[in-house]
C-alpha cells in the first residue's frame, strides 16, 4: 500500500462489482489505477460512469492489490482462480461480513508469495451515503506484513477507524452486532408498515437502523446468519429470551387485577 504520491502507479483489481465493489471504486479511484471483474450483465454503464474498466478475472487478478467483494456462495471458486493468476508480492484483501470461513479459504488456496488480509468494512452503501470518514473497518492479518501499511493507508488517506482483530474474535462480535441488527430488522419489516407520524426519538433511531440494512442483497443476510459460525448460538439465545419474556408477560397479565371479572 503506497502513499498518495505513488498510489496512482499501484493497480487495484476489484473482484465483484456489486454495490460494495462500486462503493470501493468511488473511494479508491483517486488512489489507485482501478479495474474490475463481475460476471453479472448490465454493469458496463455504471462502470463507465465510475471510470472503471471491466476486465477478465485473470486480468484483474494480476493487479498489485486485489479486493475480493464476491458473494460467499462463489468465494472459494473465485479465490481458486485468483490463486492461479496472482503475482508474487500482491496484496489480497476480502471485504465480507464473515471472516473465519473466508480467512481459512484464502490461507489454504492462495500461494505463499502473496500477502493476505481479511477485512470487514463495518459500513455499506447506505451507512456511507454521507461519506466514510470516521467509519470503522476490522482488519485480520492472515499472511505477510502488509497489514501495517494497509492500516496506515485506511487511517490517513480514507479517515477510517481501524480495528485490528482476529477472524474468530470478529465473528463472535459480529454475530451479535450484525446478526441481531439484521434479524430484528427482518422481523420489524414483516410487521410493517411501521408508524411514521406519532413516533418517539428511540423509535426513529430504530427505523433509521432498519433503513440502513433493509436494502442489502439477500446474500448479505444469508452470510451473516448462516456463514458466521457463532450466529446460530446468538440467534437461539435471542429467541429463547424473547419467548421467556413473552411467557412472563402472559403470566403477569393473567394474574393482573385488571383482568379479573368485575374489575
Closest CA relative to residue 36, chosen from 78, 2, 69, 6: 69
What integer pLDDT is reported at residue 126 of this predicted model? 85
Q: What are phi and psi of 116, to 5 degrees?
A: -130, 130
Length of the chain: 263
In the chain, the domains with their CATH numbers are 4-165 (3.40.50.720), 170-251 (no CATH)
pLDDT beneath 70, residues of the chain: 1-8, 258-263
What integer pLDDT is reported at residue 259 of this predicted model? 66
Percentage of the chain beyond pLDDT 90 is 81
Q: What are phi and psi of 166, to 5 degrees?
A: -115, 160
What integer pLDDT is reported at residue 6 of this predicted model? 46
CA-to-CA distance for 13 and 125, rounded, in angstroms? 19
For 206, other C-beta atoms within 10 Å of its C-beta total: 16
pLDDT in tens, 122-158: 998 888 999 999 999 999 999 999 999 999 999 999 9
Q: What are phi and psi of 190, to 5 degrees?
A: -70, -20
Q: Where are the beta strands (DSSP E) in the chain?
A: 11-15, 33-37, 65-68, 91-94, 115-121, 136-143, 161-164
CA-to-CA distance for 52 and 135, rounded, in angstroms? 24
Amino acid at each position: 500500500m503506497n502513499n498518495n504520491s505513488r498510489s496512482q502507479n499501484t493497480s487495484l483489481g476489484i473482484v465483484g462489482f456489486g454495490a460494495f465493489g462500486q462503493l470501493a471504486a468511488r473511494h479508491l479511484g483517486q488512489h489507485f489505477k482501478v479495474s474490475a471483474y463481475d460476471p453479472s450483465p448490465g454493469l458496463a454503464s455504471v462502470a463507465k460512469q465510475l471510470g472503471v474498466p471491466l476486465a477478465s478475472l485473470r486480468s484483474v487478478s494480476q493487479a498489485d492489490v486485489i479486493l475480493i467483494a464476491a458473494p460467499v456462495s462463489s468465494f472459494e471458486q473465485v479465490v481458486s482462480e485468483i490463486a492461479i493468476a496472482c503475482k508474487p508480492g500482491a496484496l489480497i484483501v476480502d471485504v465480507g461480513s464473515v471472516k473465519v470461513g473466508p480467512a481459512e479459504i484464502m490461507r489454504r488456496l492462495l500461494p505463499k508469495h502473496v500477502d493476505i488480509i481479511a477485512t470487514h468494512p463495518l459500513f455499506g452503501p447506505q451507512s456511507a451515503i454521507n461519506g466514510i470518514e470516521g467509519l470503522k473497518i476490522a482488519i485480520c492479518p492472515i499472511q505477510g506484513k502488509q497489514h501495517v501499511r494497509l492500516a496506515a493507508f485506511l487511517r490517513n488517506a480514507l479517515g477510517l477507524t481501524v480495528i485490528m482483530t482476529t477472524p474468530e474474535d470478529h465473528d463472535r462480535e459480529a454475530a451479535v452486532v450484525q446478526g441481531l441488527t439484521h434479524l430484528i430488522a427482518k422481523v420489524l419489516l414483516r410487521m410493517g408498515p411501521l408508524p411514521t407520524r406519532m413516533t418517539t426519538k428511540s423509535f426513529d433511531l430504530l427505523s433509521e437502523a432498519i433503513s440502513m440494512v433493509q436494502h442489502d442483497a439477500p446474500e448479505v443476510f444469508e452470510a451473516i446468519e448462516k456463514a458466521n459460525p457463532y450466529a446460530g448460538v446468538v440467534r437461539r439465545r435471542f429467541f429463547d429470551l424473547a419467548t421467556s419474556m413473552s411467557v412472563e408477560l402472559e403470566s403477569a397479565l393473567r394474574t393482573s387485577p385488571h383482568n379479573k371479572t368485575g374489575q
